[in-house]
Amino acid sequence: MIDLDKVAHDYGGGALLSDITLRLEPGSFHFLTGPSGAGKTTFLKLCYAELVPTAGTVRLFGRDLREMRRDDVANTRRRIGVVHQDCQFLDHLTIAENVALPLAVSDRDPGAQADNLSELLDWVGLSAQARARPPELSGGERQRAALARAVMMDPEIVLADEPTGNVDWEMSLRLLQLLVELNRMGKSIVIATHDLNLIRAAKAQIAARVLRIKDRHLQLAGADL
């Protein structure tokens, strides 16, 4: 569904990622690790077309990113759920409105999925906070709301950037549980994290591959994880 072929990226201060080749298959589960500043967020941005690679080819659902028009990019993003590192909420909207945002902007009939929204809020345990504003939420609640928004359009793949970044261990496990559930529903999952305990907890439940960014390259991590 997402194919990277000899991809490199450079913000202008020298290559950050180079020669990255990876194929994300339907139903797969990947962790992406590496020290802070290694380029995990950059890698994910390449996967949902926020960045265009400086070299190599990114294919989203079979289409070369460079040949996609802006509307194609918009349509493709509806098929990729993203939990952003900083959540990217709109603070003037309620949590329910933020979660429903991908649907609101999609020109689809919003009435049809109103049930879906309350189900989704229920699933992440935020029904009580539906009318709150994002700044009023705790870190764990924000992350769960971000996850709910990511799956609002029933995407085929979910990319989560440090979803357990500043939440306690218990909440980390709960978030992981939600992501594992999504994977069992057939969605492909990529989680960027430097939390090795989280990776171990996941591996106890599912077959997850662990990728590591090291010296600008992507490698498959060994059995030490």
Distance, in Å, from the CA atom of 121 to the CA atom of 80, rounded to the nearest integer, reads: 19
Residue 26 identity: P
Q: Which pairing describes strands 55-60 and 209-214: parallel, antiparallel, or unpaired? A: unpaired
Options 41, 98, 129, 193; binder of Mg ion; rule CB under 5 A: 41
- The binder of 34, among ligand ADP, Mg ion, other proteins, none, by C-beta within 5 to 8 A per type, is ligand ADP
- Phi first, then psi, for residue 59 (nearest 5°) are -115, 125
The string of DSSP letters for 42-87 reads HHHHHHTTSS--SEEEEEETTEEGGG--HHHHHHHHTTEEEE-TT-
Taking the complex as a whole, the smallest distance from the CB of residue 70 to other proteins amounts, in Å, to: 6
Q: Which is nearer to ligand ADP, 51 or 101 (CB)?
A: 51
- The binder of 37, among Mg ion, other proteins, ligand ADP, none, by C-beta within 5 to 8 A per type, is ligand ADP
Q: Does 11 bind ligand ADP (CB under 6 A)?
A: yes
- The binder of 106, among ligand ADP, Mg ion, other proteins, none, by C-beta within 5 to 8 A per type, is other proteins
The answer to whether 59 touches 66, Cβ cutoff 8 Å, is no
Dihedral sign for Cα 33, 39, 41, 44, please: negative
Q: Which is nearer to ligand ADP, 39 or 81 (CB)?
A: 39
x/- letters, 39..58, toward ligand ADP (CB under 6 A): xxxx----------------
Residues interacting with other proteins, by CB under 8 A?
48-52, 70-71, 73-75, 77-78, 82, 84, 88-90, 92-93, 97, 101-102, 104-107, 149, 153
End-to-end CA distance of the chain: 26
Q: Does 84 bind ligand ADP (CB under 6 A)?
A: no
Taking the complex as a whole, the smallest distance from the CB of residue 194 to Mg ion amounts, in Å, to: 9
Taking the complex as a whole, the smallest distance from the CB of residue 25 to other proteins amounts, in Å, to: 23
What token pair was written down for 109?
A: 């009939």
Distance, in Å, from the CA atom of 88 to the CA atom of 102, rounded to the nearest integer, reads: 12
Residue 173 identity: L
Taking the complex as a whole, the smallest distance from the CB of residue 150 to other proteins amounts, in Å, to: 9
Which chain residues interact with ligand ADP by CB under 6 A?
Answer: 11, 16, 34, 36-42
For Mg ion, the binding residues (CB under 5 A) are 41
